[in-house]
Structures are given as C-alpha cells and as structure tokens.
Amino acid sequence: MANFTLAHLSDPHLGPMPTPPLPELIGKRALGFFNWHRSRKALHRPEVLATLVADLKAQTTDHIAVTGDLVNIALAAEFGPARAFLDRLGTPSDVTLVLGNHDIYVRGAEVLAARHWGPFMRGDDSEPGFPFVRRRGNLALIGTSTGAPTAPFMATGWLGDAQRAKLANVLAALRQEGAFRVVLIHHPPTLPHKSPHKRLTDAAEFRDIIARHGAELILRGHDHEHALEWLAGPDGARVPAIGVPSASVTYGGRHAPAAYNLYRIDGASGAWRCEMISRGIDAAGNIVEQRRQTLLG
C-alpha cells in the first residue's frame, strides 16, 4: 500500500451548550447540564478545538477517525451543530465516526445520532449498524459503538453480544485478506480500568477477540489522555491500543491538553510499518509536535 495517513481525534465535547427545553432536562441530563456549567464548559473550549482542527487540516491526511463524545448530554439541539463540525472536518467518505457514552447519554439518543450523523458511521455497504467496515485500499476501518444509556454518575459502555460476534467474523475475514485493520472504539479495552464506573464492561471479551483474530491498530478515546497499551494478538503478535486526549481541552488543567494523532501507514501484510505522530496544544496556545513513535515495522 502506498503511504496512507490516518488522523485520529476524539471527545471534542462540543460547546456551547444549547439551552434545553425543560422537558428534556430531567434525570441524568439535569445532572450533566449542571456539571457542564459548573466545570466542563471551562475545560472544553471551542477556540482550542478550532486551533487544533486548523492544524489537522493543514496536514496531508487521507482519512480522519473520530472516536465519539461529540456532544455532552445528547440534547436534540446538540446534534445539528455536531453535524456541522463533522462537515468541517471533511466529507462522510473521508471522515469516520463511532459513538461514545455522551452521544448516547439517554434513551432515544441513538435515533438522533443516526439521523444527523448516519453518513459518517456507515460501512461501504451503506447498511446502518455496528460494527461497520470501510475499506480504503488495503486499510480497513472497523467502527464499533460502545455508547449506551446508563444510570446517573455512570459512564460505562459495552459492545454487547451481537457486535462482538460480528466483530470477530469481520476481523477474521479481513485477516485472510491481509488488510491493515484499524478498530475504532470509544471506551478503552483496559482491564481493570482505573475508574470502574467508566469502564468497558465487556473489555475481557473484546480482548479475547483480539487475541484470537488480531488487529493492526486500535484507536480509542474516553479517558481524555495519551495512552498506549499493547494487547495480545494471535501467534505472539502485539496490538497497539491507543488513546488520544480530548480535542478541545485547554492547557494546564487536570486533563491532558488538546491533541490529535497522525498514523503514517505503509507496507504490506506481514510487513506493515506504522509511525504515530502526536500533535497538541502548548502553553502558548500553539499546536506543536509532542511525540513521534514507531509502532510497527
């Protein structure tokens, strides 16, 4: 495969928060609304996100992956502006989205997500549903959804039986084809997760699938931090699972400042090369290269 550059950003938690109609502001959403105004709106800044996206757009990329949490409490009025954000990144064929827990914050939000963002989270077969597969030459993007409505104060997520069964089949088939398989998943497959109330509840089962069928790269969000974890793959292979900070967090807070990753992928099945370049915001508000690391090859 000719050199392919994949960009990854996550968890923009887009503001400003619309003023919700009162009937929408009950239960978990009321807590989330209060939490946004108390602390999160100072953390996730539109101007930081705009600076980061401008830097990303100035790079040469072939595709952009976004691993969820576009919105905050899944109000109906949050989905349209989030669609506009996706459109600014690129066309649905050049941008792939998977869902996070804030996107499916309450029951019914999946309908809004599908209506507004559907073209960004559909496979080449155009069928809605997860996991979906997009082929770009020898690269295969596999989009999963771990977003699910949960109780107040919970930010867990899961794939569930049906997605896991399909994921195993998809990874096995793409392995036969010699594709460079990139799994997109919002929640980290870390076991145990440092915060049980934020964990992927079927992380062990996900890791079993990777151990049996492998993948070349797993990209995730959720924890708002840089992270690199190596998962066991088949035949002694090691699969990098990589977390990226939120794309909108200011410098100097308790969360990692805004960043995104670029993956330069080259080679062929059995001899892949993949280099990761992290770019993020510094104290002066500029986007700078933070790190460069060879993952494969």
Q: Of 66 and 295, which CB lies nearer to Fe ion in the complex structure?
A: 66
Q: Report CA 274 to chain centroid distance, whole Å.
A: 19
Q: Using CB under 5 A, count the residues that bind Fe ion.
A: 2
**What span, in angstroms and rounded, lies between the C-alpha atoms of 254 and 43?**
9
Q: Which amino acid, one-letter code, is at 143?
A: G
Stretch that binds Fe ion, among 4-12, 142-150, 162-170, 189-197 (CB under 5 A): 4-12
CB of 180 to Fe ion, least distance (A): 27
Answer yes or no whether residue 103 interacts with Fe ion by CB under 5 A: no
User: Least separation, in Å, of the C-beta of 87 and Fe ion?
Assistant: 21
CA distance 80 to 115: 10
Q: How many whole angstroms separate alpha carbon 63 and alpha carbon 180?
A: 14
Judged by CB under 5 A, which stretch of 67-75, 119-127, 128-136, 189-197 contacts Fe ion? 67-75
Query: Which member of 11, 78, 103, 202 binds Fe ion (CB under 5 A)?
Result: 11
Give the separation between CA 131 and CA 185, rounded to whole angstroms: 10
Least distance in Å: CB of 243 to Fe ion? 11
Decide if residue 69 touches Fe ion (CB under 5 A): yes
Give the residue with the Cβ less far from Fe ion, 10 or 138.
10
Q: Considering the complex, what minimum distance in angstroms separates the CB of residue 249 from Fe ion?
A: 10
Q: Interacting stretch for Fe ion, rule CB under 5 A, among 3-11, 51-59, 122-130, 284-292?
A: 3-11
Which of 62-70, 110-118, 157-165, 172-180 is the region at the interface with Fe ion (rule: CB under 5 A)?
Answer: 62-70
Q: What are phi and psi of 110, to 5 degrees?
A: -65, -30
- DSSP code of residue 62: S
Under the criterion CB under 5 A, does residue 223 sit at the interface with Fe ion? no
**Could you tell me whether strands 4-9 and 63-66 are parallel, antiparallel, or unpaired per DSSP bridges?**
parallel
Q: Write down the least CB distance from residue 169 to Fe ion, Å.
A: 29
- In the bound state, the residue with its beta carbon closest to Fe ion is 69
Stretch that binds Fe ion, among 68-76, 86-94, 168-176, 190-198 (CB under 5 A): 68-76
CB 105 within 8 A of CB 32: yes
- The CB-of-224 to Fe ion minimum distance in angstroms stands at 6
Q: Assess contact for 242 and 227: CB atoms under 8 A.
A: yes
CA–CA dist 180, 272 (Å, integer): 8
Q: How far is the CB of 231 from Fe ion (least distance, A)?
A: 21
C-beta of 14 vs 139, nearer to Fe ion: 14
- 226: exposed, middle or buried (Cβ count in 10 Å: 0-12, 13-18, 19+): middle
Q: What are phi and psi of 120, to 5 degrees?
A: -90, -10
The angle formed by the CA atoms of residues 25, 254 and 220, to the nearest 5 degrees, is 75
| Closer Cβ to Fe ion, 97 or 168, answer by number | 97
Residues that bind Fe ion (CB under 5 A): 11, 69
